[in-house]
């Protein structure tokens, strides 16, 4: 990078940097005002939040503490949490099966490997494939998992299956975007070297592209597993299985001690998955 460019980027008082900062502040102020954000409102209502958590002294068992650790309920919640994790794992596998191959068609550099040439027909075909795959990815991830779950519940009924399908479709769109962006950061030199040997596009992708982006793929996949576990707990609100069914039921019936127990189980489960994910990531970085 040229020395003048480095100076420009690192000088906070450069006119360009001042202009960018001004635009950011204007957008921030506009969003703050339009959405009626108010720190004063939060501070004024802080006491109500504390009262809600601690409970109304006039209402027995209206608080969230202590959690209900009764043996029968605890076992029931742990089993439903296990079902939630199973839903997330199956949904992740389904989404990878969809996203992994399609991500190569959502990346310009691998499309040029699969469909080489600058002929008009080749360019039109690549543009059509790229646009179609990108549209599918945008559509599937733009619609919230809860909406997908409602659609699949209406199709296959209550239970874990609609939750798995909902998470799988939504996550596939997210992974197509993430995977394709990772693929487009691959260095071109190994690709060109392998193409020069006369290797076909499958060998080029397998030996020149995938080895470069494997750590990124693993990291994004594990991140989505954590996200899917969290999302699966909410899908129970739609009747799509997992611990979310109990969470929704207890919230609706104001059994707040059980709500706290369920939330503790969710937090511990996500923390365990995070530690396992971190251990796996170290093997690929």
Q: What is the pLDDT of residues 58-108, one digit of tens each?
A: 666 667 777 777 767 788 888 888 888 888 899 999 999 999 999 988 888
pLDDT at position 166 over 70: yes
On whether both 123 and 262 belong to a single domain, the answer is yes
- What residues have CB less than 8 Å from 163, skipping those under 6 apart? 87, 91, 149, 152, 232, 235, 236, 238, 240, 241, 242
Q: Count CB atoms within 10 A of the CB of residue 166.
A: 28
Q: What is the mean pLDDT of residues 116-123?
A: 81
Q: pTM, whole model, 2 decimals? A: 0.80
Tens of pLDDT, residue by residue over 183-227, are 888 888 888 888 888 777 788 888 888 888 888 888 888 888 888
Residue 233 is predicted with a pLDDT of: 82
Residues 17 and 100 in one domain: no
- Residue 186 burial by Cβ neighbours in a 10 Å radius (0-12, 13-18, 19+): buried
Q: Are residues 140 and 46 in the same domain?
A: no
236 and 149 in one domain?
yes
Q: Do both 145 and 237 map to the same domain?
A: yes
Same domain, residue pair 162 and 116: yes
Specify the DSSP class assigned to residue 117: -
């Amino acid at each position: 990078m040229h020395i003048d460019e480095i100076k420009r980027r690192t000088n906070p008082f450069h006119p360009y940097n001042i202009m960018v900062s001004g635009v950011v502040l204007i957008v921030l102020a506009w969003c703050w005002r339009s959405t009626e954000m108010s720190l004063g409102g939060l501070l004024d209502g802080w006491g109500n939040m504390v009262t809600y958590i601690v409970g109304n002294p006039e209402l027995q068992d209206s608080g969230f503490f202590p959690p209900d650790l009764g043996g029968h309920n605890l076992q029931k919640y742990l089993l439903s949490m296990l079902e939630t994790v199973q839903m997330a794992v199956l949904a992740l596998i389904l989404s990878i099966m969809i996203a992994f191959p399609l991500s190569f068609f959502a990346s310009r550099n691998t499309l040029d490997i699969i469909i080489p040439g600058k002929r008009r027909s080749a360019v039109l075909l690549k543009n059509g494939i790229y646009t179609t795959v990108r549209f599918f990815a945008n559509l599937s991830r733009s619609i919230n998992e809860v909406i997908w779950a409602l659609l699949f519940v209406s199709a296959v009924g209550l239970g874990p299956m609609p939750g798995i399908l909902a998470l799988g479709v939504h996550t596939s769109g997210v992974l197509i975007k993430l995977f394709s962006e990772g693929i487009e950061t691959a260095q071109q030199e190994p690709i060109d070297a392998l193409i020069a040997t006369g290797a076909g596009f499958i060998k080029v992708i397998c030996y020149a592209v995938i080895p470069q982006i494997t750590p990124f793929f693993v990291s994004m996949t594990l991140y989505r597993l954590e996200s899917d576990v969290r999302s699966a707990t909410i899908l129970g609100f739609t009747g799509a299985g997992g611990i979310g069914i109990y969470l929704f039921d207890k919230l609706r019936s104001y059994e707040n001690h059980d709500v706290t127990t369920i939330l503790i189980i969710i937090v511990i489960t996500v923390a365990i998955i995070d530690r396992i994910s971190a251990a796996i990531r170290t093997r690929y970085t």
